[in-house]
Amino acid sequence: MIQKIHTIDALDALKMSIQSSMDLKDYYNDAAALVKNDDAEAILIGLADKKERHRQALIKIYSKTCGKKILYLNLGRKHKLNTLQKCSQDPNDAVRTAKKNEKELRTFFSTVARRLVDAELRNYFRHLAIEQDKDLTLLESSFEEPLMLDQDELEDKSVLNEIAY
């Protein structure tokens, strides 16, 4: 489902970005709990931490832009990026969906960057789009098909030992 953005208010864009960062942080933490591979878990937790840092930076920019502090974020549908998908219970599907979510968020940030008037905010959203590209590249290079994230590392090593002998 494609979410169309014709015009957007800077504060609404920031709120949506904060909410999206929170959603993806939770997503990556949920996905990390599903995988049985320590390396995969570390990558997913690292991405969750990165989304939290983005959220904190966005909150500072929001406060600087409007002069108000966000004590909590309880947004309605208007401020949700409805193209982001929820985490599956299958670790392989969770990683595949994470790649899709990164693409959706990159598209959102790029679109917002083109539509904002304020040059500083425009540049920040461009920066966020580039960061999403980096996250997507990390996911694509770390998790190549066929994914086998529902297997323990020991199982993987035993299979390799059988092949070697």
The pLDDT value recorded for residue 44 is 96
Which domain CATH number covers 52? 1.20.1260.10
60 assigned to some structural domain: yes
Average pLDDT rounded to a whole number, residues 113-121: 91
Average pLDDT rounded to a whole number, residues 103-124: 93
At 165, is the pLDDT very low, low, confident or very high (cuts 50, 70, 90)?
Answer: very low
3 assigned to some structural domain: no
31 assigned to some structural domain: yes
Predicted structure pTM score: 0.82
Q: How far apart are CA 76 and CA 74, in angstroms?
A: 7
Instruction: Point out the least confidently predicted range of 58-67, 78-87, 125-134, 152-161.
Output: 152-161
The pLDDT value recorded for residue 6 is 59
Average pLDDT rounded to a whole number, residues 120-139: 95
Amino acid residing at 97:
T
Q: How far apart are CA 49 and CA 96, in angstroms?
A: 19
What does each C-alpha distance from 95 to 27, 65, 86, 99, 107 come to in angstroms?
10, 35, 11, 6, 19
The pLDDT value recorded for residue 162 is 46
Question: Which of 132 and 67 is assigned the larger pLDDT?
Answer: 132
61 assigned to some structural domain: yes
Domain interval for residue 89:
10-164
5 assigned to some structural domain: no
Average pLDDT rounded to a whole number, residues 17-43: 93
The pLDDT value recorded for residue 77 is 65
The total number of structural domains in the chain stands at 1
pLDDT at 159 over 90: no
Output the average pLDDT for the chain: 84
1 assigned to some structural domain: no
4 assigned to some structural domain: no
89 assigned to some structural domain: yes
The pLDDT value recorded for residue 3 is 55
Residue 12 CB coordination number (10 Å): 15
Question: Which of 145 and 68 is assigned the larger pLDDT?
Answer: 68
Average pLDDT rounded to a whole number, residues 67-73: 75
SS (H, E, C) the chain: CCCCCCCCCHHHHHHHHHHHHHHHHHHHHHHHHHCCCHHHHHHHHHHHHHHHHHHHHHHHHHHHHHCCCCCCCCCCHHHCCCCCCCCCCCHHHHHHHHHHHHHHHHHHHHHHHHHCCCHHHHHHHHHHHHHHHHHHHHHHHHCCCCCCCCCCHHHHHHHHHHHHC
